[in-house]
Amino acid sequence: MRGLVFALIIAGLLPFAAVRPMAGILLWEWISFMSPQQELWGFAQAMPWAWLVVAATGLGCVVAREPRRPNVTPMVWLLLLFMLGISLTTATALGPAAAVVPKYIQEMKSFVLMILTALLLSERKRIHAVVWIMALSLGYYGVRGGLFSLLTAGHFHVYGPPNSILGDNNQLAAALLVGLPLMNYLRLQSAHAVVRQGLAAAMMLVLFSILTSYSRGAFLGLGAVSLFFWWKSRRKLVSAIAVVLAVGLAITFMPPAWMARMMTILHYQHSQSAQERLAIWGVALRVALARPFTGGGLLITHFAGPLQSLVPGAVHRAVHSIWFEILGENGFVVFAIWACMLLVGVYNCLRIQRLTRAIPELGWANDLGRMGFVSIIAYCSAGSFLSLGYYDLFFTLLVVLAATRSLVAQALRERAPPRVPVPSAVHPPALAAAGWRGAGGQQRLPAWSRGAGR
């Protein structure tokens, strides 16, 4: 029954995507970020919904002739370079084509839609709509997991939808950390008290979900997010009290088994999981050193044969680090492009905050810049222990921040006073002919021109 209802909803929304490409972008992001089809059974789970939306959105671009004035930011060029780099490293990948090619097609589809998103984000309401989709897609699993953790007193792990990037408890927790500041941005920008209170309650449930994932990497990321959330808040004292109370209450609620697992962070030398991560990070680095320009290709550390041809005796497993995942699979050049995207995202956040600090009508952009910065910190900290190097929701956030900075620059140009032209130094007769006159109607030259031409 759920599958039939979902199919009817998509069938009803596809015509909107076929005439309004922005509607198609929002629909694609919902399917991509939330993976609602994984909650279904039967034919609805196997249908290629994302491809149907992509086709309808492409048709919408032709029908509506959009984007009419594409917003080409430096982030768009970096995304194009990153796609080109991945294409080259995939062409020389060492892993089996049966696994590498589907992974490559999946990533290319996501990045193409991200670029189209960037070109269509030409106004504030579109940016706001994308952030809502991101927050709701993650918030669904965060709220559901938070309620589950409360009902079970935190004794069971929280997972996301199966067969998706959020299916693993660790990756779900990292994604929720990225989405938590965005939910706070929406809370700050909501005009209705009911919406603000609902978002505050949802954020608390998301916090419980993050802890109940039992992810040590996410717990470290939560510490970084809490610190930067306080730093980027306007009211430091109130924010400090709120963060300490919320996190402290949630940790106190957790059972002893959770506390025992978190305490292993202090003794990582004796943790098998930690030692395996350190070992595979070293393997990924050696792969990059062996092939500095191409890396080993997508999923290189997942296959024993290709991996051991570069690093004899290496044990194949997931890298569990965004940094070493990109580096080992693509080499140093593509890694530098990927790192540049992160740095440009940080710069955009800081630039937005600086330009809008004293402009009330751009307060929405200031809030988004501050919370976007915290989301980047969440991704970098929690992602250091997870394989989320190509996470589409995070790169969509970078696109949103780049578009926001462009809108801020445009708004500042429009509100700037018009420039008064300053007369250039010309010959005195020309000044006299132009009508420079002194007191009593007598023709008079400026002091700086007296004596000119003698």
Provide the residue ranges of all domains of the chain, joining segments of one domain with +.
Answer: 1-66, 72-414
Average pLDDT estimate for 324-330: 95
pLDDT band, residue 228 (cuts 50/70/90): confident
Q: What share of the chain is helix, strand, coil (3-state, %, to 5)?
A: 75, 0, 25
pLDDT score, position 270: 60
What tokens does 232 get? 């980027």
pLDDT score, position 219: 86
pLDDT score, position 413: 87
Per the DSSP assignment, residues forming a β-bridge with 443 are 437
pLDDT score, position 346: 96
What's the count of helices (H) and strands (E) in the chain, helices before strands?
18, 0
Cβ(370)–Cβ(209) under 8 Å? no
Q: What secondary structure does DSSP assign to 139-156, as a single string? A: HHHHHHHHHHHHHTTT-S
How much of the chain, in percent, has pLDDT values that exceed 70? 91
Q: Which of 243, 187, 86, 181 is nearest to 376 (CA)?
A: 181
Looking at mean pLDDT, say which of 263-272, 335-344, 410-419, 420-429 comes out highest.
335-344
pLDDT band, residue 418 (cuts 50/70/90): low
Q: How far apart are CA 169 and CA 423, in angstroms?
A: 68
Q: How far apart are CA 158 and CA 149, in angstroms?
A: 7
User: Which residues neighbour 379 within 8 Å (Cβ) at sequence distance 6 or greater?
Assistant: 174, 177, 178, 322, 388, 391, 394
Cβ(171)–Cβ(159) under 8 Å? no
pLDDT (tens digit, 9 = 90+) per residue, 49-96? 888 888 888 888 888 888 877 778 999 999 999 999 999 999 999 999
Per the DSSP assignment, residues forming a β-bridge with 71 are none
More confident residue, 194 or 160: 194
Averaged pLDDT score across all residues of the chain: 86
Count of other CB atoms within 10 angstroms of residue 250: 21
pLDDT (tens digit, 9 = 90+) per residue, 193-207? 999 999 999 999 999
pLDDT (tens digit, 9 = 90+) per residue, 15-39? 888 888 899 999 999 988 988 888 7
Q: How far apart are CA 12 and CA 112, in angstroms?
A: 24
Name the residue with tokens 């090619």.
Answer: 101
Cβ(134)–Cβ(117) under 8 Å? no
pLDDT (tens digit, 9 = 90+) per residue, 420-449? 666 555 455 554 454 444 444 454 444 444
SS (H, E, C) 383-416: HHHCCCCCCHHHHHHHHHHHHHHHHHHHHHHHHC
**Is cis: bond before 292, omega within 30 of 0?**
no
Where residue 451 falls (left for φ over 0; alpha for ψ -120 to 50; beta otherwise) is left
Q: Which of 185, 115, 203, 117 is nearest to 349 (CA)?
A: 185
Q: Which of 114, 86, 108, 109 is nearest to 300 (CA)?
A: 86
Helix/strand/coil for 437: strand
Q: How far apart are CA 119 and CA 69, in angstroms?
A: 8
The overall longest dimension of the chain from CA atoms, in Å, is 98
pLDDT score, position 431: 45
pLDDT (tens digit, 9 = 90+) per residue, 177-189? 999 999 999 999 9
Cβ(254)–Cβ(154) under 8 Å? yes
